Amino acid sequence: MKHFEFENDKLIVLDQRKLPFGKEYFVCSTYQDVYIAIKDMIIRGAPLIGIVAAYGVVLGFKEIIEKNMESTKIYEIINYLASSRPTAVNLFWALDRMKSLFEKIKDMDRIEIYKQLLDEAKKIEEEDKNINKKIGEYGNQLIKENSNILTHCNAGALATGGYGTALGIIREAHFSGKNVHVYVDETRPYLQGARLTAFELSEDGIPNTVICDNMAGYLMKLGKIDCVIVGADRIALNGDTANKIGTYSLSVLAKHHGIPFYIAAPVSTIDFNIKSGSEIPIEERSEDEIRFFNGKKIVPDESKVFNPAFDVTPAENITAIVTEKGVVFPPFEEGILKLKEK
């Protein structure tokens, strides 16, 4: 299933809120539409957010040409797109890359600037697909035959340019004949696991079982989990990792039961400017995402709601970080700095 495409000066994205029971597309004709697509989680997943934001810059410059605005308006557009979600560092990485290119070519003809910005966004998209494949190949070396793998949220093709990070490793293990089985956390409150990950795995014929988030510890106790693989939205220099809320709990459970806990993410997810997870901003989302389920209120009006979208898993709970440049083992800071040099 094609989950996004840029054609005829429009970005068409699959509305992931409707999956797996409906296939609807959201058309981004302007950079404001791209902001909505990211902010309202029409699309999600750190690498995909970065790709879509890059195309948002392209649409922003198209508007600059059409309305004959100053080219420097692009800085305002980039800052606006950067405000859509605070945690996923790929968003800022992609926007910085587009900004750097613009600064090199800003004196060119505007049509040429548009073409080069579009080419750069396409490069970011294609690079991500290749990166995911490499992550899958490196990560597959860590997976044993007949493994039962637990994953959380969705770090598959739908969260990236294609193939996936955590699911990229799982796909690689499956297609190499390792006979893996995947336990899929439902991932409240948006149910990205139940709706998206289970959908992707089923489409590829990978055996999977969906569980409620609070069942993972019991499965580990029963000896039914051999490893945990998750994606990441931001990784600090010391290896602390922000990912979908609930990831930290899984890491604690895995550590208690002696189960390997792997992070799968591109190097662009590493924030080399922060030393630890305490510096990672954690997005808090609307109370209604928890107050309502399937359009029906399930929480009393008198009750308060706390809805952080992410949590931070400390480096000491992580067995390894799998990137397109190789696998990093503790102590992470030394290995992470080497990735920057490669």
- Residue 233 a catalytic site member: yes
Burial class (CB in 10 A: 0-12, 13-18, 19+), 339: middle
Cis omega before residue 20 (within 30°)? yes
Q: How far apart are CA 227 and CA 61, in angstroms?
A: 45
- At residue 13, the 3 state secondary structure works out as strand
> How far apart are the C-alpha atoms of 266 and 28, rounded to whole Å?
26
* Identified catalytic residue from 233, 240, 271, 311: 233
Among candidate residues 73, 48, 74, the one with its CA nearest the CA of residue 269: 48
Q: Which helix (H) or strand (E) holds 1?
A: none
- Which residues, 6+ apart, have CB-to-CB distance to 107 below 8 Å? none
CB 312 within 8 A of CB 241: yes
Give whole-number Cα distances, 289 to 190, 218, 278, 297, in Å: 7, 27, 25, 10
Q: d(Cα 277, Cα 316) in Å, to the nearest integer?
A: 12
Angstrom distance (rounded) from CA 180 to CA 101:
43
CA distance 87 to 11: 23
Q: Please give the positions annotated as active site.
A: 233
